[in-house]
């Protein structure tokens, strides 16, 4: 694998016949700004930036359309902007909230021999609720056959509810503000509040968990700004937002961080353990 280079900025190159019309589209319609023009006496390349992107427009003999996705927070999501050379900019929801579909209960039977598919971080997923009850819920049977260190990163889910039940083996987890990592063993269950940052660290060979979430379709975000465990433990998060202050204005329609993750163990008789054995 070649060594990583630091070019300073990565541009998307768009070939076009009418350079002036493309510049007008990207500045007046999309809202980018012009950063560089070359050469000055007869421009053939113009570089623009904005919305976290850099676009290099190059005058060519033919139009070569590109395709972009631009996150928006209003009702324009779902529409498409088309540039003079045919480049399409799809306006998509910015992920600041989530849709909560109407609940449509149904009876479904999932057999034990139904296959697993490849999920994130090397985990295998089996769908336990194929019709998702209209998109209201998702239920997954997750396993890590090989065990050992899990190729996970600090992340969070923009979700309303999420519960993880350890059915077999064990898994080490760490949560934002909740102190050092802890081990979830067979019979343990953790309910984690929306958007709390967390990471899966290690798992036993043959780990199997059942995960239930609402809604079925939700976004998972990688967290780049903090490391876990956090330096200070704040077990009681009842008055805390999980979303950082800089992003709270975007986190609409999210019940963020109403409580710390709760871990309990249910015995074969169904009785809970004493309060001392519950995760605080």
Pick the closest to residue 84 from 64, 56, 54 (CA basis): 64
- pLDDT score, position 108: 87
Q: DSSP class of residue 45?
A: E
Using DSSP's 3-state secondary structure scheme, residue 212 falls into strand
- pLDDT score, position 4: 65
88 vs 118, residue with greater confidence = 88
How distant, in Å, are the alpha carbons of 98, 129, 130, 174 from that of 108? 25, 7, 8, 34
33 vs 113, residue with greater confidence = 33
pLDDT tens-digit readout, 37-92? 999 999 999 999 999 999 999 999 999 999 999 988 878 888 999 999 999 999 99
Mean of the pLDDT values across residues 92-118?
83
- pLDDT score, position 96: 72
How many Å apart are CA 130 and CA 139, to the nearest integer? 9
Q: How many CB atoms lie within 10 A of CB 194?
A: 22
Mean of the pLDDT values across residues 127-151?
91
Q: DSSP class of residue 195?
A: T
User: In which element (H, E) is residue 142 found?
Assistant: strand 138-144
176, two tokens: 């934002």
- pTM of the full predicted structure? 0.70
How many Å apart are CA 47 and CA 63, to the nearest integer? 17
- Name residue, tokens 């876990």: 228
How many Å apart are CA 90 and CA 65, to the nearest integer? 13
- Asked whether the bond before 39 is cis by omega within 30 degrees of 0, the reply is yes
How many Å apart are CA 22 and CA 43, to the nearest integer? 13
Which residues are within 8 A (CB) of 93 and not within 5 positions of it... i.e. 6 or more apart?
71, 72, 73, 77
How many Å apart are CA 48 and CA 95, to the nearest integer? 25
Domains and CATH numbers, the chain: 12-93 (3.10.180.10), 117-275 (2.60.120.10)
Contact call for residues 150 and 121 (beta carbons, < 8 A): yes
pLDDT tens-digit readout, 160-200? 999 999 999 999 999 999 999 999 999 999 999 999 999 99
CA end-to-end span of the chain, whole Å? 45
Structure confidence at residue 3 as a pLDDT band (50, 70, 90): low
**Long-range contact pairs involving 56-60 (C-beta distance under 8 Å, separation at least 24):** 56/11, 56/12, 56/13, 56/14, 57/14, 57/16, 57/19, 57/22, 57/23, 57/26, 58/13, 58/14, 58/15, 58/16, 59/16, 59/17, 59/19, 60/15, 60/16, 60/17
Q: DSSP class of residue 267?
A: -
């Amino acid at each position: 694998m070649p060594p990583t280079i630091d070019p300073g900025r990565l541009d998307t190159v768009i070939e076009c016949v009418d350079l002036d019309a493309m510049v007008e589209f990207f500045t007046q319609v999309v809202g980018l700004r012009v950063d560089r023009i070359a050469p000055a006496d007869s421009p053939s390349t113009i570089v623009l930036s904005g919305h976290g992107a850099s676009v290099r427009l190059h005058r060519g003999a033919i139009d070569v359309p590109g395709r972009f996705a631009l996150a928006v927070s209003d009702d324009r999501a779902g529409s498409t902007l088309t540039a003079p050379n045919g480049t399409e900019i799809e306006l998509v929801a910015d992920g600041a909230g989530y849709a909560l579909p109407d609940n449509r209960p149904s009876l479904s039977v999932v057999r034990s021999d139904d296959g697993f598919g490849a999920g994130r971080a090397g985990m295998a997923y089996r769908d336990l609720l194929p019709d998702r009850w209209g998109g209201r819920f998702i239920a997954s049977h997750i396993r890590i056959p090989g065990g050992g260190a899990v190729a996970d990163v600090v992340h969070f889910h923009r979700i309303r509810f999420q519960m993880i039940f350890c059915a077999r083996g064990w898994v080490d987890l760490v949560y934002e503000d909740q102190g050092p990592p802890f081990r979830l063993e067979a019979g343990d269950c953790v309910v984690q509040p929306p958007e709390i940052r967390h990471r899966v660290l290690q798992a036993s060979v043959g780990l199997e968990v059942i995960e239930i979430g609402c809604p079925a379709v939700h976004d998972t975000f990688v967290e780049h700004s903090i490391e876990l465990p956090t330096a200070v433990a704040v077990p009681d998060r009842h008055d805390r937002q999980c979303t950082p202050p800089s992003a709270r204005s975007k986190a609409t329609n999210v019940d963020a961080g109403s409580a710390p993750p709760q871990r309990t163990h249910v015995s074969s008789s169904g009785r809970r353990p004493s309060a001392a054995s519950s995760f605080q």
